[in-house]
Amino acid sequence: MSRRPDGLLNHNILDSDKGPQDACGVFGVWAPGEEVAKLAFYGLYALQHRGQEAAGIATSDGERILIYKDMGLVSQVFTESDLASLPGDLAIGHCRYSTTGSSTWVNAQPTLRPTKYGTLALAHNGNLTNTGDLAELVQKLEPSNGRERGATTDTEIMTALISLQNEKNVEASAIAVLPQLEGAFSLVFMDEHTLYAARDRHGVRPLVLGKLETGWVVASESAGLDIVGASFVREIEPGELVAIDESGVRSQRWATAEPKGCLFEYVYLARPDTLIAGQGIHATRVAMGVRLATESPVEADLVISVPESGTPAAIGFAKGSGIPFGIGLVKNSYVGRTFIQPSQTIRQLGIRLKLNPLREIIEGKRIVVVDDSIVRGNTQRAIVRMLREAGAREIHVRISSPPVKWPCFYGIDFATRAELIASGLEVEEIRRSIGADSLGYLSIEGLIESTQIPEKRLCSACFTGEYPIRIPADLSEGKTRLEITEVHGH
């Protein structure tokens, strides 16, 4: 069911200036007697930063699965009556940002599919790298009979593969399919009676388990547990499948763990109030800023951040440098996704719709501006221009990560390499391009040490070009983003 089956898209006022986007956020809850649809709603609300294009919730009352999904933010998609129409004891939810595959209603998640042992609903965060091979396998198992597949996502293909297995139940079918999947995936799925969670053998994307008084919760981040009052238990391990039902929680390994957690989760993607691998993200980002101040010192009067993602590192930079931290840019929290297309005049205002400088704080001062990353350079260029117009005497940009030079194939919507400003320019050339008086990045060594995670357990491909999971030819650098979309979907 959907209010907008025509696939009306959200429009972002500042699409050209948006930062890196994660593929999705996933949430699951098994809690008999609770309003599981509302718990899923609030869980997705806490994970909204991971996907803003579509949202969906599926629930089961033990006899049937109902699903509601639509385009838009979580708060736009669901009303009180929508949630009341989703009864049951277990639920899964999803908020989506399409890294590949079109942004249309039919690609919203969770996906739903009948099986010989009931119904399967599934939601996915990440990106598979062997979708083409898997699609061929689905066609062999289930000839199309002239039907066109509506959705274009790797999530749909995973759902189909599990549902087509000749096994005794969903759990056995998942164990048969999971080893065939390559790439990054954190999954929540369900049949009428059981909630499941699984993570790829590398654990690229986060997934955690929490305990309610009356049940259990799984979520992309620990912040999704906090909002529903669940206590953090542990991470779902790489290569693990967890099942939750009236018998409790059971776990089995379907692959040997080869951890390669995404380094960019620490830089930008995860909420600052989240824990990953036992590390608090806020404290990690502060440590990045302290290290950045040591690696790229500068004489200045004030440290400011690009809110909100640059704030913890800016606090760290101020701590490490002894330069006072202040608020120099004010963020409009209500600018973002809307169903109203901005006029050309409004578009030309660019970053001013999101940020505005505090002239009385900035004027006449030497300013250090701390941000988490530079992707295309458009945002930093506009910020430097605004600060100069507000009277800054000097502007020194400091970035709490290394230059982003390589695209991500594991679930982050980085631009193609040609669009990444650091892939073709040296640091001094980037400095001139954005108009700063100086520019400094955190080293890869400094970033990794700040996480306190061993380098061998991290994926740093977007910074180093060293991809821990094989990238097939149809996802190679020679392909444009459009061509990739035509071959693969998420």
Cα–chain center distance at 319: 29
Catalytic site residue from 24, 95, 262, 462: 24
DSSP 176-193: HHGGG--EEEEEEEE-SS
Q: What is the DSSP letter of 49?
A: G
Distance in angstroms (rounded) separating the CA atoms of residues 37 and 83: 6
User: Per DSSP, what are the bridge partners of residue 370?
Assistant: 305, 398
459 is catalytic: no
Which residue, chain included where needed, has tokens 């009180």? 80
User: Per DSSP, what are the bridge partners of residue 235?
Assistant: 208
Distance in angstroms (rounded) separating the CA atoms of residues 312 and 291: 12
Distance in angstroms (rounded) separating the CA atoms of residues 414 and 407: 5
From 458, 454, 463, 442, select the one nearest 313 (Cα to Cα): 442
b/e map 84-121, b = 16+ CB within 10 Å: eebbbbbbbbbbbbbbbbeebbbbbbbbbeebebbbbb
Cα distances (angstroms) measured from residue 424 to each of 364, 428, 471? 34, 12, 22
Which residue, chain included where needed, has tokens 């069911």? 1
Cα–chain center distance at 213: 28
Residue type, 42: Y
User: Per DSSP, what are the bridge partners of residue 243?
Assistant: 196, 250
Other CB atoms within 10 A of residue 286 CB: 24
Q: Is the bond preceding residue 308 a cis peptide, omega within 30 degrees? A: yes
Mapping DSSP to helix (H, G, I), strand (E, B) and coil, where does residue 130 land?
Answer: coil
Which residue, chain included where needed, has tokens 């998640």? 109
How are strands ordered across the β-sheet holding 24-30? 65-71, 54-60, 90-96, 24-30, 215-219, 208-212, 231-235
Supply the residues annotated as catalytic: 24
